[in-house]
Amino acid sequence: MAQDVGEQLLKDMPDTHAGGSGGIGLSFGELQQNTGFLLRMAWLQISEKLEENSQSVMLSAPEYTILHMIAQTPGVRQGHLAQALYIKPAAMTRIIRNFEDRALVTREIPDGDRRTVRLTIRQAGRAALDQARSLFGGQAEHERGALNAAEQQKLNYLLRKFCGLDTSNTQAP
């Protein structure tokens, strides 16, 4: 329900977001200092652009994220991946089964531990990632919004820091 409200708020805003109120006489007041609200509004703007452009790729943004993580960490445990991405185990199982049906990943269950599932990307999964990289890979224009390249780099650095992600291999602006 909250997602519907946020999406409706974004749809009701005109294309020009200058002035912080979208030019429609609204005052966001203290919400302009609310990190969660700002992140949500940014995500809604990005997802709207993704939706416009995503018909040309076979992966959704969440699928791209999961498949990318598997490609970056061959043999990753399904449970660890679910935990890292805040996905419930049952939902992750459904996603991975869907990936298997589409021949994007393989699941390996070691003989010594039947509860462990290790994931590896297949060639079709790599091809799907390559196809979707320009849309979801982090360098797309729609992710910049009104920021210039240096501002986007700074924002990404600060978000990684906020989320506790490794910032040692990235440069602060």
CA 68 from centre of chain: 10
At residue 46, φ and ψ (nearest 5 deg) are -65, -45
Angle at which helices 35-53 and 123-136 cross, to 10°: 110
Torsion of CA 102, 108, 109, 113, to 10 degrees: -140
> Is-contact 20 30, C-beta < 8 A?
no
> Is-contact 69 76, C-beta < 8 A?
yes
pTM value > 0.75: no
- Residue 55 CB contacts under 8 Å (≥ 6 apart), including other chains: none
pLDDT score for 69:
95
- Tell me the CATH architecture of domain 61-134: Orthogonal Bundle (1.10)
Print pLDDT tens along the chain (173 aa): 455 555 555 555 544 443 444 557 788 889 888 888 988 888 888 777 777 766 667 888 889 899 999 999 999 999 999 999 999 999 999 999 999 999 999 999 888 877 888 999 999 999 999 988 877 776 666 667 778 888 888 888 888 888 888 766 555 44
User: Using CA atoms, how far apart are residues 54 and 60, in angstroms rounded to an integer?
Assistant: 7
- Give the DSSP letter string of the chain: -HHHHHHHHHHHS-S--GGGSTTTT---GGGGG-HHHHHHHHHHHHHHHHHHHGGGSS--HHHHHHHHHHHHSTTEEHHHHHHHTT--HHHHHHHHHHHHHTTSEEEE--TT-TT--EEEE-HHHHHHHHHHHHHHSS--GGGTTT--HHHHHHHHHHHHHHHT---TTS---
Domain ranges of the chain: 61-134, 141-173
